Structure formats: structure tokens, C-alpha cells
Amino acid sequence: MKQAIYGIILFIFLALPPVVDLAESIMAIHMHAQMPLIGIAGMLMAPYLQQKFPRFFEKWNENGVPGIVLFLIVFIYWVIPRAMDDALASGAVEVFKFFSWAFLIGVPLRLSWPKLTKAWQYIVLLVVAVSYSIMAVLYLFSPDQLCNNYLIVDQRILGWSFLLIVFVIILYILQDLFIDKSAYEAE
């Protein structure tokens, strides 16, 4: 319950007009800070929603796969260059951005992840890494301005930040595969 309140506070804070303006004025902050923070707000609200509607999640997302597929689809939708422009141009898309990042990305991710088998978790991480790599290459090397609302230099910075995240994901997968964690855990 306490977490859900923090989630709601974070969500409202992010939705404050000056915060929105500031976050959206820089492309990389828009993509890699504002949107994920809305997702985190959703993740904080997730356990409360699960308590509130236990049957729903148990029934329809038992193995976590439908939830994680929902997460992946909406997550990938938001890397389309146009989606970001649309969010700036249209109030409806902006509202959908807040709704979808909180409830179609944050919530299903937190509620589905623990239910997934290890193999599925790797698949999800790889899909994210691959799509982010594609976006990194696109933003770093495209001679065209992909988002009408941002400068090419913003686009380059965003490309590097995509690449950085891919690097971190790969690092995580490697350490997960090759480090025997039990060796470091206290008896």
C-alpha cells in the first residue's frame, strides 16, 4: 500500500506541466528518463493492483507470458521515432503515454517477471537489447532528422544512450550466466 502511494506521488509529479516540459525538452531525457520513470511509478502501484484484483491476474496471466508480451509490444511501440513526436503534438497521445507506460509496461513487467522461466527472462532481455541496438544504429547513423521536434545532435545523444543500455543489458546477462552467485552469499 505504501509503495502504491509512492507510485501515485511519482506519477503525479511526472505529470506536472513544468516537469513534463522540462523532461520533454531533451530527447534522451524524454526517452530514457521520463518514460521509464512513469514505468517505475506503474511498477510501484503493481502489488496494490494485484491485491485488489488477485483473480484477474491469476486467471489471465498465470505463466506471465501474456503480461510480458504486452510489456514488450507497448515498450517497442514507444521506440518508434514517430511515437515521441506524436506525444508532443497530440494531447491524447500524451495521455496514452502516461497511461501505457504505467499500466501496460510497468504493471505487467513487475507482475509477470517473477512468473517467467529463466529462458523467458533471457528472451525478454534479448528482445529489448536487439531492438535498442537497432534504434542505437538508426539514431547514430541516420543522416535524416527522425523526430521533427528534436535536433540531429539530440538524436545522436539518444543513439549513444540506447547503446549504453544495450551494453548494460549484455553485461547483466553475462554476469548472470557466468558468475556463481552462491559463492558470494553468506551461509
Partner 1 sequence: MFKLKRQWISLTVVILFGFALFFIGTDGFTAFTEETARTNQLVEEQPSLPQVTLEDTFEREYDFSEFEGKYVLMTFFYSSCSTVCPILEQNVANIYEEVPAKYLGEDIVFLSVSFDPERDTPEVLDKYRTYFGSDGEEWRMARVADEQELDFLLDEFGVIAIPDDEGEFSHNVAFYLVNPDGYLEDVMDFEDVDGATNKVLHALESEG
Residues binding partner 1 (CB under 8 A)? 59-63, 65-66, 69-70, 73-74, 77, 80-83, 85-86, 89, 144-153
The residue written with cell numbers 500524451 in the block is 94
Can you tell me the distance from the alpha carbon of 5 to that of 114, in angstroms, rounded to the nearest whole number?
22
Residue 30 CB, nearest approach to partner 1 (Å): 14
Residue 116 CB, nearest approach to partner 1 (Å): 13
- Nearer of residues 3 and 90 to partner 1, judged by Cβ: 90
- The strand ranges marked E within the chain are none
- Nearer of residues 11 and 97 to partner 1, judged by Cβ: 97
Report helix angle 81-89 to 91-99, nearest 10: 120
Distances, alpha carbon 18 to alpha carbons 36, 98, 147, 150, in Å: 18, 15, 22, 19
Residue 126 CB, nearest approach to partner 1 (Å): 18
Residue 146 CB, nearest approach to partner 1 (Å): 5
- Nearer of residues 92 and 177 to partner 1, judged by Cβ: 92
Residue 11 CB, nearest approach to partner 1 (Å): 21
Which of 94, 105, 100, 101 has its CA nearest to residue 24?
94
Can you tell me the distance from the alpha carbon of 139 to that of 162, in angstroms, rounded to the nearest whole number?
9
The residue written with cell numbers 514507444 in the block is 78
- Nearer of residues 151 and 164 to partner 1, judged by Cβ: 151
- Nearer of residues 10 and 157 to partner 1, judged by Cβ: 157
